[in-house]
Amino acid sequence: MAILPITIYGDKILKEKTKQISQVDDNLIRLIKDMFETMHNANGVGLAANQVGIDKSIFIVDLHTVEGYEKLKPQVFINPKIILHSDEKNIYEEGCLSLPNLRAEVARSSEIKIQYIDTDENINEIDADDFFARVILHEYDHLLGKMIPDRVEDEIKKLLKYELASIRERKVKIDYPITNRKL
């Protein structure tokens, strides 16, 4: 396993929709293991493949360190699709490994149903709510080429302008590896 550098705001790959995965093979399993190691090293709870420079429709979630989710096993979502979401929204402050040191309040559906393929190539559906739903929606956004700044009001985005510029120019102090160049 390896710790991969994380792409950050301004990297082109984060603004593009990812490509579907046609099969689960040894290379994908290695990527998944590397993604978990990378996410844990950066103290994250979710990570999408394009956040490590890979143009594939896959993300991982591990909430075992979050109070109330200690028994939830780490999960892999391949070619996910949100099939239902509640109209009820919750507003909560979010962070992102690709937006180091930046936090902003984001409104997201409080309940969702997601369909995805697991590593055995089985189609699954699960319901998620509250924080679990938020993390899934956050990572799912990455696969669509969206990030926190795309989900906040224009006034808030203006307030984040200088922080976003610092991140894009790689003028932030981070304790995990990031890409050297814009991917």
Hey, which residues are catalytic here?
A: 139
Query: Torsion angle, CA of 155/156/159/163, rounded to 10 degrees?
Result: -140
Residue 65 in tokens: 């360190």
> If you write DSSP's letter for every residue of 93-155 in order, what string do you get?
EEEETTEEEEEEEEEEESEEEEEEE-TTS-EEEEEEEHHHHHHHHHHHHHHTT--HHHHS-HH
Q: To 5 degrees, how large is the angle CA 135–CA 142–CA 2?
A: 85
